[in-house]
């Protein structure tokens, strides 16, 4: 898909090559099992939200028992020293689990990657954001870096020597250079700043605690939410067998636990921001263009610069249905072709009296939430029931869906009790 503001963002003019950037999600035959599916064979994803809320309560309680003092100190640091507005305990708990995940999943790869590769990857990530005309060539180079240098060491056991601050600095550099963890690396840099204030042995202790909490989360979340991610392992195995030349390889190789972390993050971040969100007067809802229905190639959406709004051309289209429902309740619905276009679109809403509800693919929940938080936007999120865009998940794109009752309740009503 093209990003908002690019020419002709809604029409497909030629059959795409595998892995190419598509302009629409074209109906196609879905894989035997979605990468993740919140419906789990049911007609709706209602059960998922109950189970995700229950696990979120358990996770938050476990983090408080083991690392409540750490969250206390970290909260004081980011508020007092980094001048950040206070966040909820749930948000800090998610950050701590993200820290543990990054240590367990990516620290070994960071240690095994040569400095010149990290520097090259960093330059390519910079060029991709700032040189639109160079994207095809840049993405080709990034695909090579990902395939040959970044992904082969994923999950490798790290060497836990050196100071906690030094380990975090190396990990953060690697994460930022990949271009896939921009928001996560920024949050981890806050933790590095806090660890630098502690005695070295205390900082090392807390890194170990983060790792152990994540290990427990991986075990518990698989039991509670594993049924919703049954397609992930076969999808990853397929990717590793083919080792395709793709710039999004790091995204496509994520294990089930990263989906589970985003599921819990959606719940806890929504809770933490709910009060501020409910005080907003202007309500906006963002939906991905992959939610359009069987006639998406003929979509007649209105395009005004970065804004893409539904024209109501297809009565069966989910975006049309959602737009009409939420418009009647005072909210405006915009379509976003891809997560990479979100940053451009959000700038106008920074620090305004606007509440934004974003519908997104599961792996974009956490970074999207971090970004809107960083931009001082009161936000809520609702994950797609399953992924279907041809850029990342399906060879031929399929229309996706969301729990529309949940979306309406989150965007313009009250939260579930």
Q: Give a yes or no: residue 13 inside a domain.
A: yes
Instruction: Give the Cα separation of 273 and 278 in Å (integer).
Output: 9
Indicate if the alpha-carbon torsion angle 363, 252, 6, 289 is positive or negative: negative
Say if residue 138 is in the same domain as residue 30: no
> What pLDDT band is residue 199 in, cutting at 50, 70 and 90?
very high
When pLDDT is averaged across residues 292-318 and rounded to a whole number, the result is: 88
User: Is residue 342 located within the same domain as residue 293?
Assistant: yes
**HSE (side-chain half, CA atoms, 13 Å) at 389:** 25
Q: For position 293, what pLDDT does the model report?
A: 77
Q: What is the mean pLDDT of residues 347-357?
A: 89
- Are 11 and 142 in the same domain? no
pLDDT at 322 over 60: yes
User: Do 252 and 108 share a structural domain?
Assistant: yes
Answer yes or no: are the C-beta atoms of 280 and 377 closer than 8 Å. Answer: no
| Rounded Cα distance, 406 and 415, in Å | 9
Does 207 share its domain with 283?
Answer: no
User: Is 251 found in the same domain as 368?
Assistant: no
- The H or E element containing residue 72 is helix 46-76
Q: What residues have CB less than 8 Å from 113, skipping those under 6 apart?
A: 149, 150, 153, 174
pLDDT of residue 228: 96
SS3 content of the chain, % helix, strand, coil (to 5): 60, 10, 35
Contact predicate 372/273, CB 8 Å: no
Last residue of a domain, one of 192, 223, 258: 258
Edge-to-edge order in the sheet of strand 331-336: 331-336, 282-288, 354-360, 378-383
Residue (of 111, 139, 389) closest to 245 by Cα position: 139
Residue 43 lies in a domain: no
What value does the mean pLDDT take over residues 186-192?
97
User: Is residue 24's pLDDT more than 50?
Assistant: no
- Residues 208, 314 within the same domain: no
Query: Looking at 229, 258, 287, which one is the last position of a domain?
Result: 258
Q: Are residues 308 and 399 located together in one domain of the fold?
A: yes
- Domain of residue 64 covers 48-258
92 occurs within a structural domain: yes
Of the residues 258, 288, 317, which one is the last residue of a structural domain? 258
35-92 pLDDT per residue, tens = 999 998 888 999 999 999 999 999 999 999 999 999 999 999 999 999 998 999 999 9
Q: Tell me, yes or no, whether 307 and 238 share the same domain.
A: no
Regarding predicted confidence, which is higher, 16 or 124? 124
Tell me how far apart the alpha carbons of residues 6 and 132 are, in angstroms, rounded to a whole number.
10
Same domain, 313 and 345: yes
- Alpha carbons 70 and 197: distance in angstroms, whole number: 12
Q: Report if residue 42 sits inside a domain.
A: no
| pLDDT higher than threshold 80 for residue 210 | yes
Categorize the per-residue pLDDT at 32 as very low, low, confident or very high, splitting at 50, 70 and 90. low
All residues at 6 or more sequence positions from 270 whose CB lies less than 8 Å from its CB, including other chains: 380, 381, 410, 415
- Helices (H), ranges, 179-283: 182-195, 200-225, 232-242, 249-252, 256-278
Confidence (pLDDT) at 250: 87
C-alpha radius of gyration, the chain, whole number? 21
C-alpha 343/C-alpha 179 separation (Å) is: 14
* Domain shared by 347 and 407, yes or no: yes
pLDDT at position 341: 65
What percent of the chain shows pLDDT beyond 70? Answer: 90
pLDDT at 135: 80
- 382-416 pLDDT per residue, tens: 999 999 887 888 777 788 999 999 999 999 985 44
* Of 298, 210, 302, 222, nearest in space to 256 by CA: 222
Report the percent of the chain where pLDDT is more than 90. 63
In a domain, 414, yes or no: yes
Please check whether residues 215 and 354 belong to one and the same domain. Answer: no
Judged by DSSP in three states, 108 sits in helix
Specify the pLDDT at position 343.
Answer: 78
Number of structural domains in the chain: 2
In a domain, 91, yes or no: yes
| 162-171, 269-278, 339-348, 389-398: least confidently modelled range | 339-348
Is 383 contained in some domain?
yes
| Residue 248 covered by a domain | yes
Whether the predicted pLDDT of 28 surpasses 50: no
């Amino acid at each position: 898909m093209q990003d908002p503001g690019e020419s002709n963002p809604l029409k497909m003019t030629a059959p795409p090559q595998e892995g190419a950037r598509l302009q629409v999600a074209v109906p196609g035959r879905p894989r035997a099992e979605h990468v993740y599916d919140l419906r789990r064979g049911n007609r709706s994803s209602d059960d998922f939200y109950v189970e995700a809320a229950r696990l979120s309560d358990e996770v938050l309680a476990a983090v408080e028992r083991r690392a409540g003092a750490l969250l206390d100190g970290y909260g004081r640091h980011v508020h007092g020293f980094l001048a950040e507005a206070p966040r909820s305990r749930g948000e800090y708990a998610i950050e701590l689990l993200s820290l543990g995940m990054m240590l367990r999943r990516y620290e070994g790869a960071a240690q095994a990657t040569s400095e010149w590769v990290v520097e090259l990857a960093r330059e390519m990530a910079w060029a991709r954001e700032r040189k639109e005309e160079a994207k095809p060539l840049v993405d080709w180079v990034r695909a090579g870096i990902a395939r040959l240098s970044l992904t082969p060491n994923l999950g490798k056991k790290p060497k836990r020597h050196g100071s906690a601050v030094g380990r975090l600095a190396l990990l953060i550099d690697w994460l930022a250079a990949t271009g896939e963890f921009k928001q996560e690396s920024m949050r981890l840099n806050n933790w590095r700043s806090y660890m630098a204030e502690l005695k070295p042995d205390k900082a090392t202790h807390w890194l170990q605690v983060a790792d152990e909490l994540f290990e427990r989360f991986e075990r518990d979340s698989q039991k509670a939410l594993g049924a919703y991610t049954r397609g992930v392992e076969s999808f990853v195995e397929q990717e590793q067998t083919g080792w395709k030349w793709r710039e999004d390889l790091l995204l496509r190789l994520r294990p089930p636990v990263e989906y589970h972390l985003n599921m819990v993050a959606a719940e806890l971040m929504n809770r933490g921001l709910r009060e501020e969100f409910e005080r907003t007067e202007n309500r906006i809802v963002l939906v991905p263009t992959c939610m359009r229905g069987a006639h998406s190639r003929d979509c007649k959406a209105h395009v005004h610069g970065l804004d893409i709004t539904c024209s109501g051309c297809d009565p069966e289209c989910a975006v049309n249905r959602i737009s009409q429902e939420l418009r009647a309740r005072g909210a405006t619905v915009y379509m976003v072709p891809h997560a990479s276009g979100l940053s451009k679109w959000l700038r106008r809403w920074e620090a305004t009296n606007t509440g934004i509800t974003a519908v997104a693919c599961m792996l974009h929940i956490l970074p999207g939430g971090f970004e809107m938080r960083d931009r001082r936007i009161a936000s809520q999120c609702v994950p797609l029931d399953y992924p279907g865009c041809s850029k990342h998940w399906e060879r031929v794109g399929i229309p996706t869906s969301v729990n529309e009752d949940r979306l309406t309740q989150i965007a313009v009503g009250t939260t579930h009790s």
